[in-house]
Structure 1
Amino acid sequence: MNATYRVAVPPRFKLGLSGCGGGLESVSTSQLLDLAEKAEALGYDALWINEEHFQGSVVEVEGRRCHSPIVLASAILSRTKTLRVGFSVLLLALHHPVRLAEEIATLDVLSNGRVDFGISRGGNGRYLEVYGVEPESVAQRFQHTLEFVLRAWGDDKVSFGGNAYSIEPKPIQKPHPPVFIGTYTDETAGWTAQQGHGLICHGITSMENQRRLMKAFVEAGGDPATAPFGRFVYVAESDELARKELWPTVEKLTERLRGFRLFDRSGVLQERDLEPETFYNEMVIAGGPATCAEKILDLNRELGVCYLNALSAFFGFLPLPLLEKSLELLAREVRPLVEKRLMAGVERSS
């Protein structure tokens, strides 16, 4: 009698959505919350919300509208039951440590432990200027704020001068909500693993830089299967239709991104990455279900990726009907293909 024996079980494939509206920012009204409920019904594991400022305007017809991330997280968590909500990322230099500890713990309590604490230093010069933060203080503020928040979530009181206070509430998740660090440097990626935190890989980063950061994280002891790995994703019924439907969005988005001059920031992009053809081929997972599944599996084979974080709304430039279709196909057709192949690979190796 033939039998299949499994010597190992692969990490469960996870599927998240990322953007300043949790990957749903093709709309900016309460419809976004309706979409969050649909994402939960489709089986998505998490929505990840970016902290951005000065993004979008009532005079602009297209593009993203960015909301306060903690307020938006609260609204999404209140409308869902199982969906996790993370931050991709909160910029620690812009937050008061006590208030941040209280608000994230409050979200965790009210959601029964469905919060992921994604953070980074936050070195955007415009943001620092408006918030009155000296650029040279950012690294120290990041370290101090993270250490304080983790201490505040513990059982002991925190000393302030001659007094000590218990920062309340305490989070449901123990010892605290999972911490994910966003970075563009090898040093911080390695430090993240050494501290036992997760790495969150930004989808706006080129694949060359993604590989470099994942390598540094893994070499320092990090588990690549736990890292939400960001990529722009669009799924249509066929490869040809995906390109036809997505191409106008790619042209608009790359023009906008060139205006941001992200290629001037080391470790993010090169100017060539924002040429529409290069962007489509190297920055985007696009095509029919089988093609998209194979591209995800390629990431798994090369880098150990088991958590795809889809930048599904393309910074809000993807029209809502296309976003809804892509989300449906990604969840109902692409995900089962990926999961089946991952399990089959384990069975073959047994």
Structure 2
Amino acid sequence: MTEGIYASTVGPAIERGAPDTGRPARSFKLGLSGCGGGLESISTSQILDLAERVEALGFTGVWLNEEHFQGSIVEVEGRRCHSPLILASAILARTKRLRVGFSVLLAALHNPVRLAEEIATLDVISDGRVDLGISRGNNPRYLNAYGVKPEGTADHFKEMLTFLPRAWAAGTLPFGDAVHSIEPKPIQTPHPPIYVGTNTNETAAWATQNGHKIICHGIISMPNQRRLMRAYVDAGGDPGGVPFGRFVYVSETDASARKELWPTVEKLTTRLRGFGLFRREGVIDEARLEPENFYRDMVIAGSPETCAEKFMALHDELGVTYLNALSAFFGFLPLPLLERSLNLMGTVLRPRLERALAAA
């Protein structure tokens, strides 16, 4: 841990009625999420070409997961994960409008001063297109490899989220006997948006009470998503600002979607069962990792009309307006299918949902 470094500074196709939240109507946003920003069915520099393409298709942003030690056997693991900060810089350099976020960075593995500098640098060079998603980062494999003790990661996380806004504000901060201005300062004011990733109700409520949003990852089962959203909203959070993750695949028809996607679902669920994801409390139960259950409960798949209906059902229930698609299915989806699904998402599904939310 970096204990002591910053302790002194912490102080029309569908017309539905939206729930009456007392908040203004929100426009639909469509993002992509994964260790390659939802584009990880490809693991070379061509991923940057794909990022340019999704920008042209009208996607709001891509979100990069921080993962480690994955990709040595791509046929088994499905994806090769890159450094998220470096990949973010490359994508931002190749695009003009697309936002780039993190879904999420792992606080336990980052020095707070260094992270403040790097996120601010990305914000400056991109003219303010960065979203910081961050979580406690308590994966024991990662902590062990990085030499971080699990005790204290919760305190480190909350101290970091207190520190970062102060680091990005004008002026200096005390560091022992010295004072420093952490540079550069970000373009977005008061700072890049902070999205908290969590599996617990307590942290979801804490996020909004401290001026942050939450980000819901698509690997979390719907009962757990509902629980987290309820805790967040009950504490005063706005559901319309939450990037809401689901596995998403769009095809011409419901039948073609199932036929095309089914081999990917079988590979992905085998992989997820293999590393015991269901043993992590508050994420997903083992029964939902059976392929049929996974397809039914964890995936928005089908024709554009069906996918729009499924998202609007989430909107009606939870108030979400930002669909954050795990489009590459952890890299197991073949690239031609990913490209076709992205095209349908951008050209057909996105405009349909924009109209639906405008009507609502």
133-142 vs 201-210, which moves further: 133-142
Q: Which deviations, in whole Å up to 9, do the C-alpha atoms of 1:72-112 show, x marking residues without a partner?
A: 00000000000000000000110011111110000000000
Instruction: Structure 1: state its 5+ residue gaps.
Output: 1-6, 346-350
C-alpha distance in 2 between matches for 1:20 and 1:239: 27
- 2:307 aligned with 1:262: no
TM-fit CA distance, 1:61: 6.5
Once the two structures are superposed, the pairs formed by residues 81-92 of structure 1 within 5 Å of their partners are 81-92=96-107
Matches within 5 A, 1:167-316: 167-316=182-331
Tell me the secondary structure at the aligned position of residue 152 of structure 2: helix
Alpha-carbon offset, residue 58 of structure 1:
5.0
Rounded to whole Å, the distance in 2 between the matches of 1:227 and 1:300 is: 11
| Partner amino acid, structure 1, of 2:52 | E
CA positional deviation for 1:343: 2.1
- Rounded to whole Å, the distance in 2 between the matches of 1:261 and 1:278 is 17
TM-superposed CA distance for 1:242, in Å, is: 0.1
Deviation at 1:340, TM superposition (A): 1.7
Aligned-partner Cα distance in 1 for 2:237–2:256: 38
Deviations 1:38-94, CA, capped at 9 Å, x for gaps: 000000000000000011115646611100000000000000000000000000110
Residue 103 (str. 1) matches residue 110 (str. 2): no
- How many angstroms apart in 1 are the aligned matches of 2:354 and 2:82? 34
Is 1:117 the counterpart of 2:128? The answer is no
What letter corresponds to residue 270 of structure 2 in structure 1?
Answer: E
TM-superposed CA distance for 1:196, in Å, is 1.6
SS of residue in 1 equivalent to 2:217: coil
Distance in 2, matches of 1:157 and 1:344, equals 48
Equivalent residue letter for 1:96 = N
Q: 1:288: Cα distance to partner?
A: 0.5
**Cα 1:140/1:278, change in 2 over 3 Å:** same
Report the secondary structure of 2:151's partner residue: helix
Structure 2 partner of 1:348: none
3-state SS of paired residue (1:10): coil
Match of residue 73 from structure 1: 88
Higher relative contact order structure (alpha carbons within 8 Å, sequence separation ≥ 6)? 2
Residue 342 (1) aligns with residue 357 (2): yes
Which whole-Å deviations, capped at 9, do the CAs of 1:10-52 have from their partners, x for residues lacking one?
2010000000000000001011000000000000000000000
Cα distance, 1:9 vs. partner?
5.8
- Counterpart CA distance in 1 for 2:357 and 2:160 is 39
For residues 148 and 261 of structure 1, do their structure 2 counterparts lie closer, same or farther at Cα, with a shift above 3 Å needed?
same
- Residues 342/313 of structure 1: CA separation in 2 closer, same or farther (3 Å cut): same
Pick closer, same or farther for the CA change 1:145–1:54 going to 2, 3 Å: same
RMSD of aligned residue pairs (Cα, Å): 1.3
Letter of the aligned partner of 2:135 in structure 1?
A: S
1:42 pairs with one of 34, 40, 57: 57
- 1:117 is paired with a residue whose SS is strand
1:152 corresponds to which residue? 167
In structure 1, give the amino acid aligned to 2:355: K
List gaps (5 residues or longer) in structure 2. 1-21
One-letter amino acid of the structure 1 residue matched with residue 81 of structure 2: C
- The one-letter code of the counterpart of 2:218 is G
Question: What letter corresponds to residue 210 of structure 1 in structure 2?
Answer: Q
Structure 1 vs Structure 2: percent identity of aligned residues? 69
- 1:167-203 deviation digits (Å, cap 9, x = unpaired): 1000000110000000000000011111121110010
TM-score by length of 2: 0.92
Find out whether 1:15 has 2:8 as its counterpart.
Answer: no
**In the TM superposition, what is the alpha-carbon distance from 1:158 to its structure 2 partner?**
1.4
Runs of 4+ in structure 1 over 3 Å off: 58-62
SS at 2:71 equivalent: coil
**Partners in 1 of 2:227 and 2:47 — Cα distance?**
34
**Using the alignment, how far apart are the partners of 1:8 and 1:149 within structure 2?**
28
Asked whether the equivalents of residues 76 and 271 of structure 2 are also in contact (C-alpha less than 8 Å), the reply is no
Structure 1 residue aligned with 2:141:
126
Within 1, Cα distance between the matches of 2:225 and 2:233?
12
- 2:27/2:357 contact within 8 Å kept: no
| Separation in 1, partners of 2:323, 2:272 | 22
Between 260-269 and 221-230, the greater mean CA deviation after superposition: 260-269
Q: Which moved more, 1:157-166 or 1:278-287?
A: 157-166
CA distances 1:109-134 after superposition (whole Å, capped 9, x unpaired): 00000000110000000000011111
Q: Which amino acid aligns with 1:211?
A: R
Aligned residues: 339
